[in-house]
Structure formats: structure tokens, C-alpha cells
Amino acid sequence: MNPAQQTAALGQSLWLDNLSRSLIHDGVLAAHIAEHAITGVTSNPSIFQNALATSPYYADELARLRASEPDPERRYEALAIPDIQAACDLLDAVYERSGGQDGFVSLEVAPRWAYDTGRTVEEAQRLSAAVNRRNLLVKVPGTSEGVAAFEALTALGINVNVTLLFSLAQTQAIFDAYIRGLAARAQGGGDIRKSRAVASLFLSRVDTLVDKQLEAIGTQEALSLRGKAALAMARLAYQRYLATFHDEGFAALRSLGATPQTLLWASTGTKNPAYPDLLYVEPLIGPETINTLPDKTLAALVEHGQPAARVTEGAAESQAQFDDLARLGIDMEHVGLTLQKEGLASFESAFEKLLAQTA
């Protein structure tokens, strides 16, 4: 087995953090599924913006849409939804083989609704119906309004990937909302056996911001913590996952066939060239997790990855690092809120550029 296949054998799902018509039409995604253990796909406005800018397969359809569809957002959806459906179809065998536990493709609600619970629920329902695939995850941001929307969508039986999580508190809030949504669905007589949800915790951006704060402090102790905050956060989040979903508090829902919400490691391409290219991959391999990999990071894993189940290692050390950061005046929850706002702004900018490309 190559390193990607070895990683999958250790219980971690590998999802591709990219989607375009070229990947589908040129057989790249199918090859990744067959050869590199890819069992899911994530998309976002930035990914689709890049797809429309670089793939030659949209031009003819876009020309027809410009003549027939006056709304740029509907033009975008008319281009993106077939890509999502095609990826879902390629991964349907994975979904079937895993008993509905894997093989998902994510499509994001427009970022403009991140602070509107009701509209997020409406848009998620609309997109879910438009795609009409059993292995779709609708992406909803982890804002406070998104948390409420996620809970409501879970109660409605719509599967969700909660995105733009940057802190332990944000992640725990999503875990708790999932449990409330499942309970509400079960109490209403709904079937929760096919309910599925993912919590996407972003990593490299955390180190980018925290490292700047550590460098501003400038002490030897502060500088020694650079590049460690994100991994510490991820390991502590995994401990919270175990405490939430593998303790007696989830037992009643599990007895009804409920599946725990899975932690997904996002933003796993290293942004600092001084750091190893698999910094956010190898240390976080372990069962019941997902890593969504950009193309470059997947290639690095296949080429020189050394997989081992390590996500449970260093929990005490991670807590000590968090304590050290707090003692230095770095508030990791404030870091999370800052990065979530920046992430939403970035996605909204990409979405506006995307719509401009279809105009």
C-alpha cells in the first residue's frame, strides 16, 4: 500500500480539498479514489472560483447560461451543482460500502447568510433538494447563527459539514448542537440512522496568527511555541470528541443508530515554508477522523508520508502548551473568533468574485 492507503487503513478518511470539472472529466478524481484512498470531496467558494478561472470545461455552458439565466448566482449554481452531483456519483460506491459513513461531497451555502439562521436553513434545504444525492453534505459556517441552523437542519434530517471552526469552544458548540438536533429528530419520530455530520476544524491559519503574536512577544519561551498551537488544539479537540461521543452521554442516541459527528482536519496545507509539508497530516492520523487535503498535500503524503496512528499522543503536552499560551496572554478563543470572521470575509470575497466571473 502507498502511504495514503496506509493512512486509510489506520481509520482516517482522506478527502480531497478541491473540485472542478477538469478533475472529473479528465479522470483525476476517479484516479484519486482508486489509487490514493480518497473517499470524499470538499468544496468552497474559493475552490469554485479557481475552477471557473482555470478549467476549460465551463465556457460553452456559461455562454448559454448568460443568454438564458439573468441571475449570476443561479448561473453559478447551474455550473457547480452538476460538478457536485458528478462527484457524489463517483463516490456513491464508497458511501454504499461504508454503510453511509463515508463517501461525501460538500457544497457550501452562500457566505452572505452566515449570520442569518433562518435563511441558512432555507438555503441548505434548497441546495440539498437541488443536488438530490444521498451523499451530499451541505456546508454551514460555525457562527452562533450557523450553530442554530445546524441544529435545526440535523433535526430535519439534512446532513451538514460545519465549516470555519477555529477553536475548542466553537467545536464543542457544534458537537452539542448535533446532539440536540439528533435528539429532536428522534423525539419527533425521525430516523437518525442515516444522519451524518462533520465538524471542520481549521489548522494552518491558527498557527499563522498565533505565530505572529508569539513573535511580537519575542521571548525565548514564546518563540519556542511557534508552530505548535494548531496541533495542540486539534489533539485537545479529539479528546473532547472522545469525551462527547464515546461516553454514556451519547449512549441513548447511539442505541437508536446515531453516528458521532466526525472531526475533520481542514486547512492542512502548511502556509509557513519553514514547516514540514505534512505538519497537519502525520501527527493527526487516527481512527474516526477525516483529513481534507489540498492536491499538493495529498501528493506529499503519497510521495513521502510515514503514517502512524498518533492523534491520541501528547494530550497532556498539548494542554500544557495551551496553558503556556494563555500565560503569555494569547487567548485562543479570541484567536478563533478573529479567524472565523476573517475566513467568512475571505469566502464572501471569493463568492463575489465567483459571481462576477459568471456575469
Is residue 209 domain-resident? Answer: no
| pLDDT tens profile 136-154 | 999 999 999 999 999 999 9
Q: pLDDT-derived band of residue 359, with 50, 70 and 90 as boundaries?
A: confident
* Mean pLDDT over the full length of the chain: 97
Is residue 247 domain-resident? Answer: yes
The number of domains in the chain is 1
- Is residue 61 packed enough to be buried (19+ CB in 10 Å), middle (13-18) or exposed (0-12)? middle
Is residue 38 domain-resident? Answer: yes
Distance CA 358, CA 272 (A): 33
Domain span at residue 78 reads 3-201+233-310+337-358
Residue 271 pLDDT greater than 90, yes or no: yes
Distance CA 253, CA 140 (A): 23
What positions carry a catalytic annotation?
139
Stated pTM of the model: 0.96
| Percentage above 70 pLDDT, the chain | 100
Is residue 112 domain-resident? Answer: yes
What pLDDT shows up at residue 162? 98
| pLDDT tens profile 43-77 | 999 999 999 999 999 999 999 999 999 999 999 99
Is residue 282 domain-resident? Answer: yes
Distance CA 192, CA 195 (A): 5
Q: pLDDT-derived band of residue 283, with 50, 70 and 90 as boundaries?
A: very high
Distance CA 168, CA 170 (A): 5
| pLDDT tens profile 176-206 | 999 999 999 999 999 999 999 999 999 999 9
CATH number at residue 151: 3.20.20.70
Residue 252 pLDDT greater than 90, yes or no: yes
Is residue 226 domain-resident? Answer: no
| pLDDT tens profile 294-335 | 999 999 999 999 999 999 999 999 999 999 999 999 999 999
Is residue 208 domain-resident? Answer: no
| pLDDT tens profile 87-113 | 999 999 999 999 999 999 999 999 999
Helix %, strand %, coil % for the chain, to 5?
60, 10, 30
Phi/psi at 139 (5° precision): -90, 130
